[in-house]
Each structure stands twice: as structure tokens, then as C-alpha cells.
């Protein structure tokens, strides 16, 4: 489905909220931009497999402990048995978005217009189906992945990303990385945005990680309509990164988004308005190293969110095959 209006056209919609994709995938759509990853995209993804290399794109469920989000915590793994020859286990306090994750379409509402595709607040409740993560799980996510190595591009330009400062990445950074790689995105691709942040953070000393968490200063994409246009106009099925929130934090002081409840974040625009599937804290550095070695930046991506009816988010359970 490549006959979608441009982001510039979306900003002037009158049949739905401006800057939204509402209705473009149908009045009852539940999966957003994942509609762009269908059978033909899965077949095209299979053609990317040449060496058979397999990369898990998930960090352990308890990798980020203490957690980065103030309202989440790492799960506690407990093993128990009912007799000497039996073992079972349980994860206590599992927050599905505490490590490598997919943000479902329930994760954010727009403070004025509400949830994606005119879904009401009443529909987004425990026990309900609307916009639940299970819709993604039941259709499956299999498509081509395009790794965009912004970290390598900035390194080669003599301007390494400053993770200590929590740098805001602009469209110029994304486009320069794309041109460096000589790649052309295809509709239905999953964009794998490699900044090196997660690997940098996990390698840092505990005292350094404490500072990052306390200052809430994280590398990510900038809050700007130009960034949204670049992402939407390439028709990505999903956009994921190895950063905490995909977008940089704190948000830029003059952000035009989410001032009322989100402190300038554009999650409302990405999720509620565009229906864009996004992922955070993905384990991309090993894959990026392999891509850089043979200058081949596409792969097959398979992701399987938890089949949790009405779930808000999920571990990504993602694999790349080259």
C-alpha cells in the first residue's frame, strides 16, 4: 500500500485530525502501520537471507536494573518445585516494557483527539480488545529490516554521537547515514535505528548509569515535524531503536508536541496519530557490526509480541536473519 498521502498532506486533513493516519487502513483498523508488512514483504525479507547468520535483538528481561522508567521494575525470576524431580518457574513483577520492547497502540493517546483511529477511552480497558498488542501477535511480524547505522555515520563524519549529553538526532543525521550505506528504504520495512546507546549505557560504570537515570537525559530522535515526515513518507511498518524512548529526552524546549501531559514528547504523534509501531531498547550493536563488516544492511526480521489480549506493550521477541 504505497498510495498513502504524504505527511505534508496529512497535516492538512479535514476528514480526520490533522497529522493523523486515521481511516487510511480502514475504519476499524487495529494494527496501524504494520498493515504495510504483508505476505509480499515477508517474501522479500526472505531474499535477504544469504549467510544464515542469526541475531537475537532482545536484551535480557532484567538487563536494565535498576529500570530506566520510573514506573517499571525488572522482574524477579523464581524457580519452584512440587517434588524432587520437578521444576517450574515464575516471573514476578513482569513489566512488558522494562527491557527490549514494542509499544502497542494502547500505549499513548492524544491529549485532544484520543486513541488511534477514533478508539474511545472506554474501549481501552482491561479485558477489552481494542488496540491490544494481541492484534500484532496474531498477525505476526515478518518483514525486511533495514539497519540504519547512525552511530557509524556520525563516527565517520568525525562527530561521534554524544550519549553523555543525550543528543537529539535530526533528519540530516538519518539521511546522511542512509546515503552513506547506499540503501533505499522500501514500504513495509522495519527501520532499525542503531545509535550505540544501549551498548554504551550497559558498558558504563554503575555510578555513570546512576547519573544518566537521575538526569533523565537520553539520546534519540528530535521532536520535529520534519522527523515525522521522514519516517512516515518512507512508509516504514515500524521504527525501532537501541535507545530508551526512540526520541531524545528531555524533549526540546520548543517541542510542538505533548506539552500538556508528555513534557514535549512526540509519542502521541507517533502512536496515537500515525499508528506507527515503535520499539525501544533493541539489541542492535552485534547486528550493526556484522552489517558494517560486509556492507549489507538488510535482513529478515521476525518479531513475536506476547499474545496478551488487550496488552499495552510487549517484549519484542525479535530475531534478525542475514
Burial 179-212 (b: 16+ CB within 10 A, else e): ebbebebbbbbbbbbbbbbbbbbeeeeeeebeeb
* Percentage of the chain exceeding pLDDT 90: 96
Strand 76-80 versus strand 313-315 pairing type: unpaired
Q: Residue 212 corresponds to which cell in the numbers above?
A: 544518566
pLDDT of residue 43: 97
- Band of residue 53 on the pLDDT scale cut at 50, 70, 90: very high
Q: Across residues 2-15, what is the average pLDDT?
A: 94
In Å, how far from its chain's centre is CA 204?
23
Q: How many CB atoms lie within 10 A of CB 262?
A: 18
Phi, psi (deg, nearest 5) at residue 255:
-55, 135
Angle between helices 225-233 and 171-181 (to 10 degrees): 30
The tens digit of pLDDT for each residue in 155-177 reads: 999 999 999 999 999 999 999 99
Q: Determine how β-strand 101-103 pairs with β-strand 313-315.
A: antiparallel
Domains, the chain = 7-59+100-321 (3.50.30)
**In which band, very low, low, confident or very high, does the pLDDT at 1 lie, cut at 50, 70 and 90?**
low
Average pLDDT over residues 81-98: 95
- Residue 29 above 90 pLDDT? yes
Task: Output the average pLDDT for the chain.
Answer: 96
Confidence tier at 2 by pLDDT (50, 70, 90) = low
Amino acid at each position: 500500500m504505497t498510495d498513502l498521502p504524504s505527511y505534508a498532506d496529512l497535516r492538512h486533513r479535514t476528514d480526520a485530525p490533522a497529522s493523523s493516519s486515521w481511516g487510511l487502513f480502514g475504519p476499524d483498523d487495529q494494527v496501524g502501520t504494520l498493515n504495510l508488512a504483508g505476505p509480499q514483504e515477508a517474501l522479500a525479507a526472505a531474499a535477504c537471507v544469504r549467510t544464515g547468520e542469526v541475531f537475537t535483538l532482545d536484551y535480557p528481561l532484567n538487563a536494565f536494573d535498576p529500570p530506566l522508567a520510573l514506573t517499571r521494575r525488572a522482574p524477579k525470576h523464581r524457580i519452584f518445585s512440587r517434588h524432587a524431580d520437578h521444576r517450574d518457574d515464575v516471573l514476578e513483577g513482569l513489566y512488558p516494557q522494562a527491557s527490549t520492547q514494542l509499544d502497542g497502540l494502547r500505549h499513548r493517546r492524544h491529549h485532544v483527539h484520543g486513541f488511534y483511529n477514533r478508539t474511545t477511552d472506554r474501549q481501552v480497558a482491561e479485558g477489552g480488545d481494542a488496540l491490544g498488542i494481541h492484534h500484532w501477535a496474531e498477525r505476526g511480524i515478518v518483514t525486511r529490516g533495514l539497519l540504519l547505522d547512525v552511530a557509524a555515520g556520525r563516527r565517520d563524519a568525525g562527530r561521534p554521537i554524544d550519549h553523555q549529553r543525550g543528543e537529539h538526532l535530526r533528519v540530516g543525521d538519518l539521511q546522511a547515514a542512509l546515503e552513506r550505506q547506499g540503501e533505499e528504504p522500501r514500504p513495509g520495512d522495519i527501520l532499525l535505528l542503531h545509535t550505540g546507546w544501549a551498548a554504551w549505557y550497559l558498558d558504563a560504570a554503575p555510578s555513570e548509569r546512576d547519573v544518566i537515570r537521575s538526569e533523565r537525559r537520553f539520546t534519540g530522535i528530535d521532536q520535529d515535524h520534519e522527523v515525522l515526515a521522514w519516517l512516515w513518507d518512507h512508509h516504514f511498518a515500524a521504527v525501532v531503536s537501541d535507545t530508551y524512548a526512540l526520541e531524545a529526552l528531555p524533549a526540546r524546549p520548543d517541542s510542538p508536541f505533548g506539552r500538556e501531559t508528555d513534557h514535549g514528547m512526540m509519542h502521541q504523534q507517533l502512536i496515537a496519530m500515525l499508528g506507527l509501531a515503535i520499539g525501544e531498547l533493541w539489541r542492535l550493536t552485534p547486528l550493526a557490526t556484522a552489517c558494517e563488516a560486509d556492507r549489507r544492511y538488510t535482513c529478515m526480521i521476525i518479531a513475536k509480541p506476547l499474545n496478551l489480549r488487550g496488552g499495552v506493550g510487549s517484549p519484542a521477541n525479535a530475531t534478525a536473519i542475514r
